[in-house]
Amino acid sequence: MTTRAGFIALIGEPNAGKSTLLNRMVGAKVSIVTHKVQTTRARIRGVAMEGDAQLVFVDTPGLFKPRRRLDRAMVAAAWGGAADADIVVLMVEAHRGVTEGVECILEGLEEIGQGRKVALAINKIDKVKPGHLLELAKDMNGRYGFAETFMISAERGHGVEDLRTWLAGELPEGPWLYPEDQIADLPMRMIAAEMTREKLTLRLHQELPYQMTVETESWQERKDGSARVDQVIYVVRDGHKGIVLGKGGETIKAVSQAARAELEEFLNRKVHLFLQVKVRPNWLEESERYSEMGLDFKDGNT
């Protein structure tokens, strides 16, 4: 049997639907999704099998004009993911078309795209009329030499099979990179922290989601088969701590319940989740926070 395997980087502006597509390809939620921009902070790998091919999808943080250290480290991680991949899939949103952000990414692709295939995936086709799609596909292909163009809805699944089949055929021949039954290569403590960060992000507003981070501090296996998971939510201000806790602890309680339910479903066993909020004004400048997130602190240097 000839096997194929390789890395496929999903890149695009924040909110393009990269994580949604990764989860659909893998068939499980390994990367968190919210309606807000800049949800994904580091590279997250998910593994999918298609016949004799093993597709290792690399979800990346959205590409945008970085301002803070964290933003710069995220953008560096995204381009790094593309540079390491066999194939790059650029995702754009059908209803937004060729934005300034997309133009910037196309410029970056001139260099990173060298020597590897780049496919275009126009996502969220459920939001526009078909005529508009053809125009956008033509416009985009006039700007860059895409190997192929796909029109998809990552959320609803339209066109995803075609993309998957094409990717499987384009990957180089070679042995599989992960055991056949593995779906992610993120440590469980990080997946668990991400689940909590997703639930928090969904409930918090304005700048707060961008100024907090979640870490799993300890993970204990209990004799009864359950797990005790202790996590810390870092915020930058006292006021933020109050908001995260909510009136009478309402918010943190809801977050904890939702995260625990998702974690239990993922692990298929009972979980005791304990959340603690700590004010750490400078966490965005601490290298340890970056390594916990899977980012390189130095990438944030100006």
Contacts to Mg ion by CB under 5 A: 18-19, 39-40
Q: Is 264 helix (H, G, I), strand (E, B) or coil?
A: helix
Per-residue contact string for residues 55-94; x = within reach of ligand GTP by CB under 6 A: ------xx--------------------------------
* The one segment of 45-53, 153-161, 188-196, 199-207 that binds ligand GTP by CB under 6 A: 153-161
Residue 289 · residue 218 · CB < 8 Å: no
Longest dimension (CA), the chain: 61
For residue 36, the Cα-to-chain-centroid distance in whole angstroms is 12
User: Is residue 240 within the footprint of ligand GTP (CB under 6 A)?
Assistant: no
Of 127 and 278, CB closest to ligand GTP: 127
User: Is residue 182 within the footprint of ligand GTP (CB under 6 A)?
Assistant: no
- For the CB of residue 272, give the shortest distance to Mg ion in the complex, in Å: 28
Of 4 and 197, CB closest to ligand GTP: 197
Q: What is the dihedral of CA 162, 167, 168, 170, to 10 degrees?
A: 130
CA–CA separation, 69 and 59 (whole Å): 20
Site for ligand GTP in 19-58 (CB under 6 A): 19-20, 33-35, 37-40
Of 15 and 231, CB closest to ligand GTP: 15
Residue from 4, 5, 17, 263 touching ligand GTP (CB under 6 A): that is: 17
Of 85 and 243, CB closest to Mg ion: 85
- For the CB of residue 22, give the shortest distance to ligand GTP in the complex, in Å: 8
Partners of 122 in beta bridges: 92, 151
User: Is residue 101 within the footprint of ligand GTP (CB under 6 A)?
Assistant: no
- For the CB of residue 258, give the shortest distance to Mg ion in the complex, in Å: 18
Three-state SS annotation for 136-189: HHHHHHHHCCCCEEEECCCCCCCCHHHHHHHHHHHCCECCCCCCCCCCECCCHH
Residue 192 · residue 58 · CB < 8 Å: no
Neighbours of 108 (CB within 10 A): 15
- Taking Cα atoms as reference points, which of 48, 43, 45 lies closest to residue 60? 43
- For the CB of residue 62, give the shortest distance to Mg ion in the complex, in Å: 7
Residues in touch with ligand GTP (CB under 6 A): 12, 14-20, 33-35, 37-40, 61-62, 123-124, 126-127, 153-156
